[in-house]
Amino acid sequence: MCEKIITKLEDIDQIKSEVHKITQSVEKIDCVSANENYKENKAQNLMNNEKLAENYKEIQKVKFQGIEICKTVDSLNIKTTNIEQKVQEIKEEINPQIKEMNQNVHVENSELKQLENSTKEIKEKILEEINRNFMDLRIGIKTNFKTLERIQELDMIKNIQVLTTMAIQYGQIMTRIEEGTIKEIHMEIRVTDRTNHLFYKNYLNMGTHENRRSLTISAWNVRGLGDKIQDELFIDKIQSDINILLETWKGECKDYKILSYNTISKIRKKKKKNARRHSGGIIVYYKKEIAKGITNINGTKSQNRLWLKLEKEFFGFKEDLYLCAIYVPPINSNYFENDYNLLENEISTYARQGRILLMGDMNARTGKCPDFITGDSCQINNFDAENLIPDYYEVDTEIARNNQDNVTNVQGKSLLELCTASRLRILNGRFIMDSLGYYTYMSINGYSAVDYALISESLLSSVKYFKTDDFTL
């Protein structure tokens, strides 16, 4: 029993000895690990210290640069302040001089404006006086046709010389002549001199008032608008208050806008579905500042005419003016629709409400035939002492009309009958700027006058001028 106990004790001592050895080994391992960690931490700390030192140097460097920048900014601020002070001093010194100069310029501009207005009024009065005398000479006096024929001959030579020059310069004139070339026709009609009307006030408010007491209207058969709307030279021709473009050969006009102008259009429907383009077509461009005075009237089913009403309250007319933009196809055209008979009915309707103005290409050659009743008089034989002529009957005034085109065709006769029946007068060949009644159409077959402006006889004295432009190629 004792021996067993002794053996157990020896085992315990041995175990203790092993445990002690293990403990010592563990302590040694911990010590070594701690030393290695310490060394690593120490090395890391050294590296961090070096980085901190470098960062500190960079910070110091940036701080120094910041101080330098602040010094530079302060210096610039001082210089800016000095410059502002000098500028202010210069302003104070110059402002009185500028003010005086502006006053002088304003006075000079005012005087110049007055001079321009005065000159314009003088020109208008001279032109009106010339036209008045010109019209007086035409009434009841036979025209010296030999003189006119000689002038016409000279004009023909001038036109041929111009065409020859253009043929040499461009080399394309014959192609254009074969297609046909048409002039643009212009007219200007006087509006009221009273300054309380909207037309006058509107121009004044828009800042474009230049003694506006007239309205300019033009018409032009463009024979296809195409891409002309992109051409600056073409756009420069659209200068009137109201511009009528005929035979545009276009559908909707939404893509054909012009700055400062509104548009009204009439489209001719294609007779054949497979047609490559439209034919006919009318577009009217009118300035936005007169839009309130213009109304589009659905007064005809025809695709060859477009009626506008010019309000008397806006423009200062004594009566409303009914303007018709018109294109009459040739009599052999598929689109001819007995236009003159239909037109006479429309004119009869609107003539009861105001005055009439027609402008456009009528494919009518009227020669020198009168557009009024010749020898008209109230003095006719009375039967049984009864007056056969009503009291309101107005006698036609005989006013001679010139025309370079001596030919009269079927449509020309219809146009003359329309004038006689509706008391309209042709403006071509009656005003100083178109005193000879110049040709309006040119082709390889020759010249003709087929574009007209017709106006109610009572408004003849209100027309300031009528002219035809040069041929455009």
Angle value at C-alpha 269, between 264 and 274, nearest 5 degrees: 135
- Provide DSSP, 51-83: HHHHHHHHHHHHHHHHHHHHHHHHHHHHHHHHH
Residue numbers of the domain that contains 313: 146-468
Tell the residue number behind the tokens 């207005």, with chain if given: 117
Looking at the structure, do residues 99 and 160 belong to the same domain, yes or no? no
Which comes out higher in pLDDT, residue 399 or 282? 282
Mean pLDDT comparison of 142-146, 219-223, 263-267, 351-355, highest-scoring range: 351-355
Looking at the structure, do residues 204 and 118 belong to the same domain, yes or no? no
> Which residue, of 138, 163, 196, is where some domain finishes?
138
Q: If we measure between CA atoms, which residue out of 418, 442, 370 comes closest to residue 166?
A: 442
User: Looking at residue 105, what is its pLDDT?
Assistant: 67
Helices (H) and strands (E) in the chain, counts: 8, 15
User: Looking at residue 400, what is its pLDDT?
Assistant: 81
CA dist 261 and 242 (Å) reads: 9
Residue 25 in any domain: the answer is no
> Which residue, of 117, 138, 159, is where some domain finishes?
138
Q: Which helix (H) or strand (E) holds 270?
A: none
Looking at the structure, do residues 255 and 334 belong to the same domain, yes or no? yes
What percent of the chain shows pLDDT beyond 90? 24
Residue 4 in any domain: the answer is no
Residue 428 in any domain: the answer is yes
> Which residue, of 114, 138, 162, is where some domain finishes?
138
Looking at the predicted structure, is the pLDDT value of residue 270 above 80?
no
Looking at the structure, do residues 311 and 213 belong to the same domain, yes or no? yes
Question: What are 275's two structure tokens?
Answer: 């047609």
Q: How many domains does the chain have?
A: 2
Residue 20 in any domain: the answer is no
Q: Does residue 471 sit in helix, strand or coil?
A: coil
Least confidently predicted of 177-186, 396-405, 425-434:
177-186
Looking at the structure, do residues 354 and 292 belong to the same domain, yes or no? yes
Q: If we measure between CA atoms, which residue out of 238, 243, 242, 328 comes closest to residue 280?
A: 328
Looking at the structure, do residues 75 and 170 belong to the same domain, yes or no? no
Q: Averaged over 325-353, what is the pLDDT?
A: 88
CATH classification of the domain holding 303: 3.60.10.10
Q: Does residue 448 sit in helix, strand or coil?
A: strand
Looking at the structure, do residues 61 and 91 belong to the same domain, yes or no? yes
Task: Point out which residues pair with 188 in neighbouring strands.
Answer: 216, 465
User: Looking at residue 249, what is its pLDDT?
Assistant: 78
Looking at the structure, do residues 184 and 279 belong to the same domain, yes or no? yes
Q: With cut-offs at 50, 70 and 90, classify the pLDDT of residue 232.
A: confident
What amino acid is encoded at 348 in this protein?
Answer: S
Looking at the structure, do residues 168 and 77 belong to the same domain, yes or no? no
Residue 393 in any domain: the answer is yes
Looking at the structure, do residues 42 and 176 belong to the same domain, yes or no? no
Looking at the structure, do residues 73 and 187 belong to the same domain, yes or no? no
Looking at the predicted structure, is the pLDDT value of residue 8 above 70?
no
